[in-house]
Chains A and B, each alone.
Chain A
Amino acid sequence: MHLVIKLMELLVVLLLGTLLTTRGIPWLLARCLNVVGVSTSFSPVTEKRIRRFKAIRRGYWSFLLISVLFVTSFFLELTVNSKALRISYDGRTAYPAVREWVDLFWVFGDISSFCKKSDFGQVGDSEVDYRQFARYAAEPSLARSELEKAKSDLAAERSAYLAKNPEPGAGASQYQMRRHQRQMEKFAKRSEGFAMLEKTAAVFEGGRASCWMPVYPVGPSDLRYDLPSNPPNRPSLEQGAPFGTDLSGRDVLPQMLYGFRISIAFALVVSVLGYAFGILVGGVQGYYGGWIDIFTQRFVEIWGSIPFLFTIMIIASMVQPSFWMLTLLMVVLTSWLGITYYVRAEFYREKAKDYVQAAIGSGVSDWRIITRHILPNALVPVVTFAPFGIVAYIGSLVSLDFLGFGLPPGTPSWGALLRQGLENVKFYPHLTVIPTVALAATLYTVVTIGEAVREAFDPKVFSRLR
């Protein structure tokens, strides 16, 4: 029954992701573009290409799969997280996971998802132990029985201590007196929380507490103290860690999922920024030509000779780069370069054509000609190279993380897992196998998309005798 509910939740999230990907986001994009004043209707040529792309089923389904998974991965905070979606205790209700999820998109500051233990019937000032809370909520008698057990444990410990060290009499030294007193204070301090836990047990038994946990109640940076052996733990379904844990005891499954989101987001941002800048530079080069072109071309050649991985590693070895800094480094050092060559050549070709000359002759501004007239016709290389660029950038991120010069330690990343896998290749193969399979599957899917896009947008017709 429990499992069925979890599966239903998962299904709902996946459905939501699918709907968003196929309907919501395209609609929203079109709306936004229309507001800015860009027409979203495609030319007949492009429509034909898109139809051809959809006809290549392997590529089209890969595209759907990756985009649905990527969009769905933005709901990870709600599905794979140690925080509760909704927690209510004695009239007090909080939504920590939902707040964390909103914080992901909230750019104007931090939204705290912190819930204090003492507010939710636990002893202490740190974050609520949601797992324990969920256990009590599911089985209210547990709160009482565990409290009773803690009480009897303490009483047993106390009497054992007293039996071993009887209360010092009048003849005891100052030192013995003080030691005894301190020990008694310790016992008293431990029993202080009992009054509160008594109330907690009553609340749970009265059905005034409830908790709704995500489908997989472990986040990417949570340590699995609940597993019996020391980390790393091998994968085990019975223990509730289907992918095992890494060297520090963090669960591998959430790390893989969050790592997927980070990898794809990184590659997408690097591609989009790089393409925007590269198209601009290549377009200006090809449109104006002359000295601008020569100087920029020399610069591009020099810049392209920088060994970029090495340079990023040098920088990263000195300043720990954040996600955005690493993205910017990738854009500045490599991702804008490749596309300038193609866009420049396309612009040279297009500029010589009649429609551009006609536009120039009728006094249309340069910017408008570049963006509205030539650019749509020069986008074929951009579209065909994009998937392969994404493969390359995911590979770069994994390589950098693997070498230890990537995202900050603690960020869920496939490369860091691979590094741990290399260090423990003999004894913990799951640390290598899981990221390798995930990486190969993801990149293979993207390559399949790329092949289909190339086939659809830039078909090669080979004619051969025989």
Chain B
Amino acid sequence: MHGMTSYFIRRMLLIPVTFVCITFMVYGIMRLAPGGPIEQARTQLLMAMQEGGGSLATSATGELDLPQEAIEQLKVYYKLHRSIPVGYLIWLGVWPDDDRQGEFNGVVQGDLGMSYRYSEPVLTTIVSKFPISITFGLIGYLATWIVCIPLGVKKALTHRSWFDTTSSLVVFLGYSIPGFVACLALLLMFGTSLVWDIFPLGGFRSENWNEMWEAGNFWWCVRDQAHHMVIPIIGYVMSGFATMTILMKNSLLDNLGADYVRTAFAKGLTERRVIFLHALRNSMIPLCVSIGHAIGLLFAGSFLIEKTCNIPGMGLLGFNSLVERDYPVLMGILVFGVLIRLLGNILSDVILALVDPRVRFE
């Protein structure tokens, strides 16, 4: 176990390094790229001033421009007045922030800054979106398991039969259609009057959900929520179900050919007992490993499905802050996304080591 412990400690130590590399890279890209918040604020202010007839300075090129001190103020407001490395270190919280009397205010202290757009702490904004993304991710993931395991088992047991071949067609079709395109197609078919208008056309809940909830209309609320969730959940399932079904099938087939199964049969166990008690348990190992990787998806949500179905989760927040150049929120989402993904990878290894005693990391 000694080797394994040190392996995981080394993996954990790699997290901060990876984290700093990625966030620094993205921070640098954001600072270097043109069209940042200053540019946006400048155009907005210029338009407002032209309408209001405020005082404008003329830049060297002869165009109307904001006075220099206003730009400086904007830079300070958006925290863009420092060089990229110093700005990054302040954001990280390992460099004293002069604007706040030399305090350390950064990621390390749990302060992700203020959102430009919502004028509230980034952490509050992101955390408020957590429950939505987690609900969808979790239910979607569970639904994937519920669909994939029986299907994979059935396909393995009837390998090369007509059921296997025809269901393979469906599985490959599922693999070839991206989840969000499936959502879009379903919205078209069941959200509009084209085929059968039974589901709402996107959204997380009905508009009057909160009123109904307060009025104590519990069952109506549950029904409404479920009603809105069907199409996105199918999208989530579509994203992963092909890979998982094939994984389940191949893994079970591998195990059915193994010696221990032969032994189990030889000592006279029933087929049902051999398959479901011995082979199936072992063939679930590769699937357990996917839990860790799925956690990343669980939190970060899916940009595409949330955008398609208009669900106000983390993905849509990320998309909107990208469109509105809300850099602190983007960096905040990046922080959570990267951390969760890294932890998820390690979790996968831990799960693998726990469920499969043959596996040894060094």
Binding site for B on A (CB under 8 A): 298, 301-302, 305-307, 309-311, 313-315, 317-319, 391, 395, 398-399, 402-403, 405, 418, 421-422, 425-426, 429, 432-433, 436, 439-440, 443-444, 446-448, 451, 460, 462-466
Contacts and interface: CB of A to CB of B under 8 A. Distances in A.
A440 B262 CA distance: 42
B280 to A, nearest CB: 14
Nearest to A442: B176
B228 interface: no
Contact of A425 (B18, B188, B261, B304): B188
B37 to A, nearest CB: 12
B172 A426 contact: no
Rank and list the top 6 A-B pairs by shortest CB-CB distance, nearest first. A443-B176, A318-B33, A444-B176, A462-B253, A302-B18, A463-B257
B192 A425 contact: yes
Contacts of B184: 418, 421-422, 425, 432, 436
Contacts of A447: 172, 175-176
Contacts of A466: 265, 271
Interface string B30-42: 1001111000000
18 contacts: A298-B14, A302-B22, A306-B25, A307-B341, A318-B34, A318-B35, A319-B34, A402-B304, A403-B319, A425-B184, A425-B201, A432-B185, A433-B185, A436-B177, A440-B176, A440-B181, A443-B177, A444-B173
Interface in B156-211: 159, 172-173, 175-178, 180-181, 184-185, 187-188, 191-192, 194, 201
B18 A305 contact: yes
Contacts of A422: 184, 187, 308
B215 interface: no
Interface string B264-284: 010000010000000000000
Contact of B180 (A399, A425, A426): A399
B307 A418 contact: no
A436 B330 CA distance: 30
Nearest to B242: A447
A391 B174 CA distance: 12
Nearest to B34: A318
A419 B297 CA distance: 23
Nearest to B36: A318
Given A305-B342, A310-B318, A460-B250, A402 B180 contact: yes
Interface residues of B, number: 57
A305 B338 contact: yes
Contact of A429 (B175, B194, B201, B325): B194
B87 interface: no
B138 interface: no
A391 B181 CA distance: 14
Contacts of A301: 14, 18
Contacts of B178: 395, 398-399, 439
Nearest to A398: B178
B243 to A, nearest CB: 10
B290 to A, nearest CB: 16
A463 B254 CA distance: 8
Nearest to A302: B18
A464 B30 CA distance: 57
B334 interface: yes
Contacts of A302: 14, 17-18, 21-22
Nearest to A316: B322
B319 to A, nearest CB: 7
Given A302-B22, A439-B181, A465-B262, 9 more contacts: A305-B345, A310-B337, A314-B322, A398-B181, A436-B185, A439-B178, A440-B173, A460-B250, A462-B159
B256 interface: yes
B323 interface: yes
A77 B178 CA distance: 30
Contact of A444 (B36, B172, B257): B172
A2 B253 CA distance: 58
A464 B253 contact: yes
B78 interface: no
A332 to B, nearest CB: 11
B257 A464 contact: yes
Contact of A391 (B35, B175, B271, B307): B175
B334 A310 contact: yes
Interface in B50-77: none
B26 interface: yes
Nearest to A463: B257
Contacts of B303: 309-310, 313, 399, 403
Contacts of B35: 318
B149 interface: no
A418 B307 CA distance: 12
A12 to B, nearest CB: 31
